Amino acid sequence: MRLFTGLYERVIAWSAHRHAPRYLAALSFAESSFFPVPPDVMLAPMVMARPRRWAVYALVATVASVVGGVAGYAIGALALDLVQPWLAQHAEQYATVRDWFARYGVWVVFAAGFSPIPYKLFTITSGALAMPLLPFVLASFVGRGGRFFLVAALVAWAGPRVEPHLRRYMEWIGWGVVALIALGLAWYQLR
């Protein structure tokens, strides 16, 4: 069954679409405040489809992510009661993020740009803890920008050389990722 090769080719085609930067901006905004899918899943294929535009795409993702982060900050500052049920589902991660804020302050927001913990936890927590907005925005810009520019630059540099191999082994890669996710979920359920 060749499921992932066709999906990969469609994603590359969609990534070259003229409206793709708008979709990247919307995804970047949403991920910083309420949506679970990171923008990298769209940024990387867009850069793969048009490597010369890597810096533009990284900038779009960065600016939209920071604006989304401000929306997440506003949720934490103004509507924390509304997101309490969601935070309860992530109570352990939320407690960790709060502890990091107490220890490291604004540096946590910078590091969050590279963290596997969902960025929205950091943005909402920043608002809930009334972190000063300007340092929050600056740290978000540097942290998120660092991540997106790094991802885009690596894909632009290695993408054209790696793409033929990706295409050739896409089924193996796709099923391998599915297996890793299944193992991760099983491990999470057992612990």
The residue among 10, 21, 19 whose CA lies nearest residue 47 is 21
Give the per-residue pLDDT at 52: 93
- pTM comes to 0.78
Give me 87's structure tokens. Answer: 């935070």
- pLDDT confidence of residue 183: 80
Residues 91-113, mean pLDDT to the nearest whole number: 85
How does residue 175 score in pLDDT terms, banded at 50, 70 and 90?
A: confident
Per-residue pLDDT tens digits for 143-162: 999 999 999 999 999 877 77
Distance, CA of 42 to CA of 114 (rounded, Å): 17
Token couple for 41: 């899943």
Q: Give pLDDT, residue 166.
A: 67
38-56 pLDDT, tens digit per residue, is 888 889 889 988 899 999 9
User: What's the pLDDT score for residue 60?
Assistant: 97
Checking if the pLDDT of 133 tops 90, the result is yes
Measured from the Cβ of residue 141, the count of other Cβ atoms closer than 10 Å reads 18
Model pLDDT, residue 86:
76
Which has the higher per-residue pLDDT, 178 or 136? 136
Task: Please check whether residue 160 is in contact with residue 51, taking contact to mean a CB–CB distance below 8 angstroms.
Answer: yes
The string of DSSP letters for 90-135 reads THHHHHHHHHHHHHHTTHHHHHHTT-SS-HHHHHHHHHHTT--HHH
Tell me: pLDDT of 87 over 80: no
pLDDT on residue 1: 55
Q: Residue 83: how many CB atoms within 10 A of its CB?
A: 17
pLDDT at 7 over 70: no
The DSSP line for 30-77 is HHHHT--S-THHHHHHHHHH-GGGHHHHHHHHHHHHHHHHHHHHHHHH
What is the pLDDT at residue 171?
A: 76
**Mean pLDDT estimate for the chain:** 85
What residues contact residue 72 under an 8 Å CB cut-off, 6+ apart? 32, 33, 34, 119, 120, 122, 123, 124, 126, 127
Count of Cβ atoms closer than 10 Å to residue 92 Cβ: 8
58-77 pLDDT, tens digit each = 999 999 999 999 999 999 99
